[in-house]
Amino acid sequence: LAHLLASLFLSPSKNQSHLFLSLSLEIRKEQKKMSSDDEGGEEYLFKIVIIGDSAVGKSNLLSRYARNEFHAHSKATIGVEFQTQSMEIEGKEVKAQIWDTAGQERFRAVTSAYYRGAVGALVVYDISRRSTFESVGRWLDELKTHSDTTVVRMLVGNKCDLESIRAVSVEEGKALAETEGLFFMETSALDSTNVKTAFEMVIRDIYTNVSRKQLNSDTYKTELSANNRVSLVKDDIKDSKQGFGFSCCSSS
């Protein structure tokens, strides 16, 4: 998959349709493999996208969560990269395929295709750069335009270790999240603050929403999208209202 992603975003536009098809086939192969690995049990595979302006720390949030790594001089993402993470919820293995999208405007036409099938999104801004916070509305509009289904959304104020040069207050982040109906959390990929909590809150809420839908259905399988299948088995899960998760770094 890595070599296909690199080829896709570095190749001439006339070759991109062929590469898109190849990449789609590879992703489907991986999903089938994941399904066969869990034969006889439930399969939960959720696609989550991380969006936001360039240099807000999207790639480092993913690398911190997936590999517990931080790269101080990481290069800008070209196109799209993804990692698959697993966690256990109520005795079931839940897999999240997390996509890190490029923030630069020149990649928007290409990466918009990767919203398709997403059931979760982290919308990230940098608390030390107000312009990235002011762009959140545009990213939410893009998510709404390109996503195929109801998406669990979290507003993430990253780099909360930069308290001394903060340009966006915690209260402003909370207010925007409340207005837009988002979860909210401040994180630091540098020192790991709230990174795992943010991702797992989104994954757990997706699981709860999907399970609730299944409980109200006579079918045991739900097709979320053409490329993102989630197999479900009935379970006794209590209905709960979606709330707002407000959390931030402590002030220094």
The DSSP result for 56-85, as a single string, is SSHHHHHHHHHHS---TTPPPP-SEEEEEE
Say if CB 197 and CB 185 are below 8 A apart.
yes
Considering only 36-50, 88-102, 203-217, which range has the smallest mean pLDDT?
Answer: 36-50
Per-residue pLDDT band for 251 (boundaries 50, 70, 90) equals very low
**Token code pair at residue 112:** 């918009």
Q: What is the DSSP string of 183-224?
A: EEEE--TTT-TTHHHHHHHHHHHHHHHHHHHHHT-S-SEEEE
Give ∠ CA 27-84-64 in degrees, rounded to 5: 140
Percent of the chain exceeding pLDDT 90 equals 46
**Token code pair at residue 46:** 């959720």
More confident: 233 or 180: 180
Per-residue pLDDT band for 223 (boundaries 50, 70, 90) equals very low
Sequence-ordered strand ranges (E) for 69-194: 80-89, 92-101, 120-126, 152-158, 183-186
Residue 103 has pLDDT above 70, yes or no: no
**Token code pair at residue 43:** 């399969």
**8-state DSSP, 251:** P
Q: How far apart are CA 68 and CA 199, in angstroms?
A: 13
User: What pLDDT was estimated at residue 242?
Assistant: 37
Closest CA to 47 of 203, 201, 186: 203
The 10s digit of each residue's pLDDT in 105-155 is 555 555 567 788 899 999 999 999 999 999 999 999 989 988 866 899 999
Say if CB 154 and CB 247 are below 8 A apart.
no
Per-residue pLDDT band for 21 (boundaries 50, 70, 90) equals low
Give ∠ CA 91-95-98 in degrees, rounded to 5: 145
